[in-house]
């Protein structure tokens, strides 16, 4: 199915997300900080990215902005997973058709639905 990049500085969360996605038939690459997210996205060009917001090196939102400035990675849909409040998220996260935000703890059905929406969006481009 799809190659998905998961960026989260908590290895347990990254592993859980990887297990869920692989159980749906996807291929998953993991990185543990925002700088690595940028580098991996540029090297593997995933179909979508699932990113924590607050990570060392660069926040997921900053890494996303950097990817949007690169013609090779521009437009890759991103699902942000965050423990910050919705009002805090609204202040720092970009908005767009190719962005979804879920707040931790994550509801599995909402997570799968958001992934499927972004994959369909990526396939339509």
DSSP 38-80: HHHHHHH--SEEEEESS-SSS-HHHHHHHHHTSTTTTT--EEE
Cβ burial of 46 (10 Å; 0-12, 13-18, 19+) is buried
- Each as own residue / partner, the long-range contacts of residues 14-19 (CB below 8 Å, 24 or more positions apart, any chain) are 17/50, 17/81
What angle do helix axes 11-23 and 108-123 make, rounded to 10 degrees?
A: 70
Q: List the chain domain ranges.
A: 3-123
pTM for this prediction:
0.94
pLDDT in tens, the chain (125 residues): 899 999 999 999 999 999 999 999 999 999 999 999 999 999 999 999 999 998 888 788 889 999 999 999 999 999 999 998 888 888 888 889 999 999 989 899 999 999 999 999 999 87
**84 close to 102: Cβ distance less than 8 angstroms:** no
Phi, psi of 42 (to 5 degrees): -70, -30
**Cα distances (angstroms) measured from residue 37 to each of 12, 33, 86, 119:** 17, 6, 23, 18
- DSSP code of 107? P
* Superfamily of chain region 3-123: Response regulator (3.40.50.2300)
Query: CB count, 10 Å around CB of 64?
Result: 28
């Amino acid at each position: 199915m799809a190659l998905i990049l998961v960026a989260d500085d908590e290895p347990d969360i990254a592993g859980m997300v990887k297990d869920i996605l692989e159980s749906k038939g996807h291929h998953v690459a993991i990185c543990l900080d925002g700088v690595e997210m940028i580098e991996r996205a540029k090297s593997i060009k995933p179909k979508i990215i699932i990113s924590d917001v607050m990570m060392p090196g660069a926040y997921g939102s900053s890494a996303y902005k950097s990817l949007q400035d690169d013609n090779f990675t521009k437009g890759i849909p991103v699902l942000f997973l965050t423990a910050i409040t919705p009002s805090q998220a609204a202040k720092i996260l970009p908005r767009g058709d190719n962005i979804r935000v879920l707040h931790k703890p994550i509801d599995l059905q909402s997570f799968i639905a958001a992934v499927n929406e972004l994959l369909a969006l990526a396939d339509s481009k």
